[in-house]
Structure formats: C-alpha cells, structure tokens
Amino acid sequence: MRRLFLLALVLLSGCRPKTGEPLEAKVRFVPEHPTVGKAEVCIEVDPRLELVRVEVVGDMTHAGMIPVEAEAHPAGPGLWRVEDFDFNMRGDWVLTITAYDKKGKKYVKEVRLTVP
Amino acid sequence: MKTPDLLRVPLLGRFFRWRYSRFALQVPLLLVALLALYDGFFGRQLAPKNFATVSVWLHYRGFLVLAIAVLGNLFCAACPMLLVRGPTRFAKRFLPEFKWPRALCNKYFVIALTLFYLFAYEYWDLWASPWLTAWLILGYFGVAFVVDTLFPEGTFCKYVCPLGNFNFTLSTVSPTQITARDPEVCLSCEGKYCVNGRVETPSGRKTLREAPNAEGVRYPGCETKLYVPQIKSNMDCTLCMNCVRACPYDNVAWKLRAPGTEPAWARYKIDVVWLGVLLFFAGFMNAFAMVPPYYQLAEHLAEVLGTRNEAVLLSTIYVLWTGLGLFLTLGVTTLADRVSGVRASPLKAVRFWGSGFFPLAFAMWAGHYAFHFLTGWASIIPVTQQALANLGLPVGEPDWTLAALVPENWLYPLQVAILYLGLLAASYVLFRRARERNHFLAGGIVFTYFFLLVALALWVLAQPMEMRGTLLLPQ
Ligand code: SF4
Ligand code: SF4
C-alpha cells in the first residue's frame, strides 16, 4: 500500500507542469526601496542569454489578491526594464520574473520585498 | 407563532433524514481538504497561487460566515474531520476510552486553544504559507483522530475544536434552530432517543445507551448531548441531524427563527459568554493586524520594551488587547448592574449583559471575511486549475486576473452595513435585558460601550490594508 502511494506520488509529480530554469539576474528598483505606487524594475541578465521576452508578475503574500502583471522592455544589452510597476498595496510582495530565450526556453527568478 | 420547519420542505427533509446525508455533505469538503494538502505540500509556495491558502483562508472562511448568516452551522454538518470516525471506531477496539476531565467540561480549554491559534496565525503567518496551512489541516485531522479515539465521540467538537466552537458561537445569530415539533410527544417518549440514540433490534426498540452493542439498525443520538425538547440555543449543535434520524416519532424540527435574537433570551453559562466576548476582541485584532497603525504600534512597543523579538511583541499586544477587552467588559457590565440596583458579582453581570457580544462578534468576523472573500473569490478558479494541472489533469491555462466579485468601492459600505446590523442585533439583546430589569439606562451604558467598540472597528476597517508577514521592518 505504502509503495503504491509513493509510486502514485512520483508519477503525479512527474506530471507537474515545468516551472523553468533558474534565471541568473540582478534586480534593482528605482527608487531603491519602493513604496506604495509606481516604481521602476530593472532586470540585468547575462547578454549571452539572448532573451526575447521578459514578464514581471507581482503577487502579495495573501490569498485572493489580484496579481500585478507587466511586460519588461529591452533597455540595452542584457538590460530589461518595467518603467511603472504598480506596487498597489503595502506589504510583502513576491515578484516572479519569467524570461524566454530565442529557442523558447523558459527561465524564472523570484524576488521578495516588503513595500512599507 | 408557528414558524416554518425546513425538514417539511420536501427534498430537504428527505435528504436530511437519509442515513448518509452527512457523509454526502462531508465528501466534497474531504476532496477539497485532500487537494489542499497536495497543493500545500507540493505546489508553488505562494499564497495567492496555491489551493491550500486560497481555499482555507479565503473561501472556507467566507462561505462559513455566509452559511451561518443565511442558514446555520453547515460547516460543522459537512466537517470532513469527522470522517476519522471510521478509523477511531476501529482503534477504540484496542485502546481504552477515558472520560473527558470534568475540569475541562467547559469552554475555557477552547478559549486557550483559540488564543494560541490566533497567536500562531500571526506569528507563523499561516495565511501566507501553503505548507503550514497544509500542516494545519493534517494536524487538525490528527488531533480529531486522537481525541475521538481516547474519549467519547463528540468530545472533540464540544470541548477541543476551536473552529467548531467559533461556528457554534457565531451560529447563535443564525436564522434556524433544531427544536421539538411537539413538546408533549417528548414528555411521553420512553427512550429520549434524540440524545440516547436508537437501535431497532429483532426483539424491539432500545436506546444505544442501554444496549450499545445490540445488533440491528442503529441511529446514533446527539454526540454533543443536546436533548431536543430543551434546546434553546445553537451552541454545541453541529447540525449533524442525528436527532432527526434517531427520533422514532418524527418529532424533530429544524425551524426558522428571527436571526440575531437568540442571545436576547438564551441564558448562556459564563464560559460560553467569555468565548463570545473573546471572539469579538480576537476578530477585531485579526483585522487590526492588517493595517498600518498596528505596525506603528509594534514599532512603538519595541522601543518601549527595548526588544525586537516578535513573539514577545505579539504576545504583549494580544495580552494587552484581550486583557483590556475583558477588563472593560467586566467594568461596564458591573456598572450597568449597579445602576440598575443589582449587587451581583461582576461575573454575573458579564453573564447577564455579555451575550450582546455574540451578534457583534459575528459582525466583526463577517465584515472582515467579506472583504477578503469578495475581493478574491474568483481566484479559486485558477488555483484549482493549477492544482489539478499539477496532478496531470488537462484543465486549461489558469487566468490569474480573475478575482473580485464586487467593485472595490462597495466593500467598505458593505462592511459598515454588516457592523451596524450586528450593533442593531446587539442593542435588541441589551434592550430585552434592560426591560427585564426595568432599567433602560443600564442597557444604555452597555450600548454606549458597544457603540464605541463598533466605531473603533469601523475605523480599523477603513484603514488601507497592509499585508505583511514581519511585525517590524528591518532596521
Ligand atoms: S425529540 Fe423525539 S426522541 Fe427526542 S424526546 Fe422528543 S420524541 Fe423523544
Ligand atoms: S443531534 Fe445534536 S448536534 Fe446533531 S443536529 Fe441534533 S441537536 Fe444538533
């Protein structure tokens, strides 16, 4: 019985959608410590990655909050930027940065910050 | 006045008389609990995108207060935790059964557990952690199993379960109640089967109490030991409908009644009243812990106490607030007693006036939960899709922008309306109590206290939200 359960778990976790490779990136904000309102999000990656699309999704850590979604724009070699990311509430935020390269490969990075 | 009996409604009555009606209600919630466990342990650890946190902290709590307001304690009726009964009955064959200690046959143990749970909720940010939420569900099943194995059935619901007792307390304002159709029939009822259980043996009808092992068709009685003709309150009633099935005379009714009025005529024991008072102040704190003034207070307290230890600060805030609440309640109700010429003890004063807190407690929690539920109700769709996708089911791409049920600017007026309705019901309780004493000024004193508490609650709900896990910002 236990083996069956373990086997089912392994199989089920095998079915889970792929989340992507870890993205090596430096993430900065302007202002450095964002407060409630708009802020710039700068994402610096290795230019050799040849990314074609970068998305930023901001979630609060409480269930039921609508995520803030934004598309980053290229702003130089390996530099991507969201000019007016809307931190619309005080509290803990989790930014999920999802990037795709030319071949469609997906990279993901998570950044946690507190907006006072 | 004759009030409608919901068990006379054709399909509803038939459903609740059916032996497996409770099981049918429990299965969907069991499936929800299993999916929450799976996603909580193995899914993405992000509260708004995990089925465990969204289903437990948003929908379970939202639907719970809605069900209590519209019908009654349906969530105890459908509680999947009681599906541990099969395993506990098996385990009982090998283990001794103990009597629940007399000293704990009241609500004080539940009050202590509720306080601990509220502390844990803030300290470990249960609302933000799918993993801890899954552990909470699992732990709950485990405790229900242990308590129901070692003690008589019903012990867990009545004396241990903080959630069940939360439901019991808030359902005192519900618009329905179990009662006897004809009390005369009960007077001549030989077995009091609604409470003692019934077994139809080949040699005749017996109570399960006198013949616990008799062969035959068995109808368990009320596990929380409520005797139908004497029921005056929803306190301790899980709406399991055992009494309906156990009564051989079809003499149990599930009647509609005026919502919010029970606390005006029911006489609760002091431990029950304290539970109601505590739930109001705890509900207030639960909302206050999500607004900026709470964090400012924590910073100030950290300076005064010279510590940034979150456990110390959180405990201090909770102890001060609930202590202040209980102390003020003692003071104000005693003053009302003295003004009306009664020289009883302060505890008797709380017992007399304190049931007015029940509708207030309901309104406080309902106002707070309504906010979360209505802002994020539709998020259950993408999180369910994602959890099922994790299980390998083809359910399509989740749409994470699904969220609000009503426009955001409706929320505060709605919360105001809920709190005023609570205050209205509480003032009815106070008016009835004051009329008993023939002294309306005494009722007015307690009403002023309630009014100020509601004003304070409205101020809290009007603050901008701040959803932060850490009490203090890093220095
Ligand atoms: S409700 Fe039914 S079982 Fe209970 S005392 Fe009355 S007649 Fe007897
Ligand atoms: S058996 Fe007891 S708990 Fe169940 S519905 Fe009847 S009175 Fe309520």
Does any CB of chain B come closer than 8 Å to the CB of residue A94?
A: yes
Q: Does the residue B343 lie in any domain?
A: yes
Residue nearest to atom 7 of ligand 1 (CA): B186
- B271 and B252 belong to one structural domain: no
Q: Does the residue B2 lie in any domain?
A: no
Q: Does the residue B48 lie in any domain?
A: yes
Does any CB of chain A come closer than 8 Å to the CB of residue B42?
A: yes
Chain A nearest C-alpha distance from B363 (Å): 21
Q: If chain A, 116 residues long, is cut into consecutive pieces of 10 residues, what is the mean pLDDT of each piece?
A: 46 53 94 94 93 95 88 94 94 94 93 92
According to the model, what pLDDT value does residue A18 have?
A: 55
- B47 and B139 belong to one structural domain: yes
B205 lines ligand 1 (CB under 6 A): no
Q: Is the peptide bond before A31 cis (omega within 30 degrees of 0)?
A: yes
- B239 and B310 belong to one structural domain: no
Query: How far is it, in rounded angstroms, from Cα B208 to Cα B296?
Result: 58
Q: How confident is the model at residue B475 (pLDDT cuts 50, 70, 90)?
A: low
Q: What is the pLDDT of residues B38-70, one digit of tens each?
A: 999 999 999 999 999 999 999 999 999 999 999
Query: Of the candidates B195, B226, B256, which is a domain's last residue?
Result: B256
Task: Name the residue range of residue B218's domain.
Answer: 178-256
Q: What is the pLDDT of residues B109-146, one digit of tens each?
A: 999 999 999 999 999 999 999 999 999 999 999 999 99
Q: Cα of B448 to ligand 1 centre, how many Å? A: 43
If you search the block for the tokens 């038939």, which residue do you land on? B14
Structural domains of chain B, count: 2
Residue scoring higher pLDDT (A16 or B176)? B176
- B281 and B363 belong to one structural domain: yes
- B226 and B117 belong to one structural domain: no
CA nearest A36 in B: which residue? B466
Residues composing chain A: 116
- B81 and B194 belong to one structural domain: no
- B49 and B117 belong to one structural domain: yes
The token duo for B436 is 């008993």
Q: Does the residue B386 lie in any domain?
A: yes
According to the model, what pLDDT value does residue A78 have?
A: 93
Does any CB of chain A come closer than 8 Å to the CB of residue B404?
A: yes
According to the model, what pLDDT value does residue B472 have?
A: 76
Paired with A54 in beta bridges are A72, A99
Query: How far is it, in rounded angstroms, from Cα B327 to Cα B329?
Result: 5
Q: Does the residue B121 lie in any domain?
A: yes
Q: Cα of B186 to ligand 1 centre, how many Å? A: 5
Domains contained in chain A, CATH given: 19-115 (2.60.40.10)
Query: How far is it, in rounded angstroms, from Cα B280 to Cα B334?
Result: 19
- Per-residue pLDDT at B403 exceeds 80: no
Q: Does the residue B469 lie in any domain?
A: no
Query: How far is it, in rounded angstroms, from Cα B101 to Cα B105?
Result: 7
Q: What is the pLDDT of residues B221-264, one digit of tens each?
A: 999 999 999 999 999 999 999 999 999 999 999 999 999 999 99
- B57 and B168 belong to one structural domain: yes
- B249 and B217 belong to one structural domain: yes
Rounded to 10°, the helix B357-376/B270-288 angle is 30
Residue nearest to atom 8 of ligand 2 (CA): B237
The interface predicted TM-score of the complex, written ipTM, equals 0.80
Chain A hits for B50, CB-CB cut-off 8 Å, are 63
> Shortest CA distance to B212 belongs to which of B77, B100, B92?
B92
Query: Of the candidates B234, B256, B278, which is a domain's last residue?
Result: B256
Paired with B91 in beta bridges are none
Does any CB of chain A come closer than 8 Å to the CB of residue B238?
A: no
- B275 and B234 belong to one structural domain: no
- B312 and B408 belong to one structural domain: yes
Q: What is the pLDDT of residues B331-368, one digit of tens each?
A: 999 999 999 999 999 999 999 999 999 999 999 999 99
Largest Cα span, chain B: 78
> Shortest CA distance to B374 belongs to which of B406, B409, B419, B412?
B406
Q: Does the residue B19 lie in any domain?
A: yes
According to the model, what pLDDT value does residue B470 have?
A: 74
The token duo for B169 is 């307390």
- B206 and B345 belong to one structural domain: no
Q: Does the residue B420 lie in any domain?
A: yes
Query: Of the candidates B235, B256, B277, which is a domain's last residue?
Result: B256
